[in-house]
Structure 1
């Protein structure tokens, strides 16, 4: 990450600390956003939620479901079916 930004590792650590997050939390957030976007996209309708979980780095559909519900307040299945209104960004 640091190399991609052209920053030192310490600069990245300070920026994340100031933002109140960690590298792990940032990665998890990006994975959840990717899943959310794919659940909304017709191009990924052919993929099961389990396949989406594995493709985005989750260890299981259950791990994805737990993290997704904690973050967005609805399950991946509900998001795919358009339930729960517009999932927060």
Structure 2
């Protein structure tokens, strides 16, 4: 949180890897700093730009789903538990 908010206050762009923060309060402070900053702030989630996600987001932008109020998604690894070489 300290590094992210200091960088945003300095006008720098920030990429945060998950977890975004270790508490809700800390996450709120980061969001407040990002909203007040001129810099760009983003949390990195490796599947955010995967093709299936892009397809769903395209349908959402086109209004196919109406007013979305909740989304639940799961991620399943094809190779099971991560290990050497996976």
TM (norm. structure 1) is 0.27
Greater relative CO (CA pairs within 8 A, separation 6+): 2
Q: Highest Rg: 1 or 2?
A: 2
Structure having the higher helix fraction is 1
Structure having the higher strand fraction is 2
